[in-house]
Amino acid sequence: MRKMEDPPVAIFLAIESSCDETAVAILRGEAGERTEVLASEVASQIEQHREHGGVVPELASRSHSLCLSGLVEEALESAEARIADIDVFGATMGPGLASSLLVGSTAAKAMSCVSGKPFVGVNHLEGHLLSPFMNRTEVPRHLGLVVSGGHTLLMKVDGAGNYVRMGTTRDDAAGEAFDKVGKMLGLPYPGGPEIEKMAKGGDPKAFAFPRSMMGGGELDFSFSGLKTAVLYTLQKNKNISIPDVAASFQVAVVEVLVEKTIRAAKAARVDLIGLSGGVSLNQAVRHAFIQRCDKEGIELAIAEAEVCTDNAAMIAFAGLLRFFAGKTDGLDGDINPNLTL
């Protein structure tokens, strides 16, 4: 039996099903010490949604239901654990697709109820925000940029659970703009990785696309005007170089992300930036942040590639920190598709 004066140790099983990735992870952590990912399983639905050019909510939730049970078994086998070994269960409660969130949260609550173990609901955005620091249980003070398909978010972080929002998207998130422009260019879904590939052979100075909301110290983001500018450019030029458009679009997004993040870090008076979310996998984004942070003398922490896209390891990490802070949730709590930080 664990003595009360001993540091709390917990094994946390988390489920992520906010959109079109079904994911289960098992994380072991000790308060004040390092965390260890014992298992992280992800079942992607990209091929199922590609023919539709985007995520179909009904198809996504049905796929979650079909594969979740097997994925839990795979995670337990990979972690060499049994359900009885799990100390805490958790799941993403929002934001995301309601029908998808319900599948994962219901399953985690059911396991919590049957085993008599605590349940922790987790904010998907918090999972991304904290993911650059997953190897520890103390989150340092920093400025975090979450840049993904659904969100572009700047947060001052004074520790786990202590956040101040400094900037957010007014319309399309950066990843959403990548996907929509990719569709305009006739590229396969998802458009972000395809634009990155195409941009490598293009001239980033070929088209002077707009950098919106860059004046007056503004920290919010807007990419709808950039998206519209690309559309008009394509309509006016029938024999256009797709690589040039991709490269010019990509550099416009990158410059806005970097400039606003550096601006926010200086305003927050922090010397550490955390970069996370699916768009942070883009090598042009990473390279630009590395160069600019080095120039400004700012430390940069980038989430590992395996936790940039939707995954349950980051959900387990955020949930574990909440659990160590003494926060658990009742089984009667509801999902919130529009949840924010």
Cα separation, 235 vs 84, in Å, equals 60
Residues 148 and 273 in one domain: yes
Whether the per-residue pLDDT at 156 is higher than 90: the answer is: yes
pLDDT tier for residue 2 given thresholds of 50, 70 and 90: very low
Q: Which parts of the chain are beta strand (E)?
A: 9-16, 21-30, 35-44, 88-94, 119-123, 142-147, 152-157, 163-167, 272-276, 299-302
Residues 297 and 149 in one domain: yes
What average pLDDT does range 80-106 have in this prediction? 97
Note the pLDDT of residue 32.
79
Whether residue 341 is contained in a domain is answered as: no
Whether residue 261 is contained in a domain is answered as: yes
For 162, residues 6+ apart whose C-beta sits below 8 A from its C-beta are none
Lowest-confidence pick of 25-29, 133-137, 208-212, 267-271 = 133-137
Residues 157 and 267 in one domain: yes
Per-residue pLDDT tens digits for 278-299: 999 999 999 999 999 999 999 9
Residues 115 and 62 in one domain: yes
Residues 126 and 159 in one domain: no
Residues 33 and 166 in one domain: no
Mean pLDDT of the chain: 94
Residues 293 and 190 in one domain: yes
Whether residue 330 is contained in a domain is answered as: no
Whether residue 45 is contained in a domain is answered as: yes
Residues 202 and 296 in one domain: yes
Note the pLDDT of residue 89.
98
Number of independent structural domains in the chain: 2
Whether the per-residue pLDDT at 244 is higher than 60: the answer is: yes
Residues 93 and 232 in one domain: no
Residues of the chain with pLDDT > 90: what percent? 83
Cα separation, 244 vs 242, in Å, equals 5
Residues 285 and 240 in one domain: yes
Whether residue 156 is contained in a domain is answered as: yes
Per-residue pLDDT tens digits for 48-61: 777 777 788 888 88
Q: In this structure, what token pair is assigned to residue 285?
A: 């984004």
State if pTM tops 0.85. Answer: yes
Whether residue 117 is contained in a domain is answered as: yes
Angle at 21 between CA 142 and CA 58, to 5 degrees: 125
Whether residue 340 is contained in a domain is answered as: no
Note the pLDDT of residue 3.
40
Residues 121 and 145 in one domain: no
| CATH number of the domain encompassing residue 206 | 3.30.420.40
Residues 33 and 148 in one domain: no
Domain that holds residue 294: 141-302
Whether residue 333 is contained in a domain is answered as: no
What average pLDDT does range 149-170 have in this prediction? 95
